[in-house]
Amino acid sequence: MVLNGATGAAAQEISYAQAAVRAVRREMAMDERVVVLGEDVGRGGIFGQYSGLQGEFGPQRVIDTPISEAAIMGAGVGMALAGMRPVIEMRVVDFALCGMDEIVNQAAKNRFMFGGQGRVPLVARMPGGIWDASAAQHSQSLEAWFAHLPGVVVVCPSTPQDNHSLLRAAMQCGDPVIYIEHKTLWGSTGPVDETLSLPLGKAAVRRQGKALTLVSWSRQALICEQACATLATEGVDVELIDLRTIWPWDREQVLASCAKTGHLLVVHEAVQAGGFGAEIAATAAEATGCRVRRLGAPRIPVGYAPVLEAQSRIGVDAIASAVRSMVG
């Protein structure tokens, strides 16, 4: 049950990937400054998130690049400073690490260092999260790295509707946006209303409740929704908040919920140590005095073997057990 950001009669059932394609197509049609660049974008991207766009807009606007993340990101920053609005494809967040200097020292800092004379309105798409059977170098959740970086917006959509509306909002933003779609959500489907606009920085209340506030984002928010359904059969009404945007995050919505329930559990797929859940928990505890707890992955690389990979996942049972322990 989505209580804000709900779709209406105009919604169509499409996939997470299709929602992204339609968002990029719409912005490219409306604004000729929008271009796409990255590896494999001409053939639609490895997840189909650019399917058909090069045929529609040509190779001058959907640009295939060499295999160099530093070159791709550097070119994107230059384009943005020259007045264009590039969508930069990093394939997965793990590969984006090869372009970190351009992200951290150039894109994020230009507006500040030059007194606003330069703006870097780019969207860096870098799918994150555990990728089934893809092992440690292809299964990282690094959103906290970018939340820690002044000068960028960080978005982690969980549904096809959010992926459409928030990607459009990101392309319209005047600052660099780190856009982290989950690697395993591309084939997931849901209703998408292409006329629905969503602002960056506004969370979605997926379920209302009074017993405890549960905060999550990206694919983990969907796992939390399953846990909430299980708990509801036991008479435990949990309020589930999907942040959607990690920075800026919706403090007002989260703190109001924590003040109401007196309990906060933050769940994320990323490693718990140093994860963004700690920021949310500390802020809520300071502001409301609520009881807080975090659930995240252990501080280990994600294993290739299914039994090892499972150790890094936070499942329904673990979430439900944590809620029960907090509310008695």
- 138 catalytically annotated: yes
Catalytic residue among 138, 164, 182, 263: 138
* Maximum distance among all Cα pairs of the chain, rounded to whole angstroms: 60
Other CB atoms closer than 10 Å to residue 102's CB: what's the count?
23
* Buried residues in 241-278 as b, exposed as e (16+ CB within 10 A): bbbbbbbebbeebbbebbeebbbbbbbbbbbbeebbbb
Distance CA 39, CA 178 (A): 18
- Cβ atoms of 227 and 323 closer than 8 Å: yes
Active site residues: 138
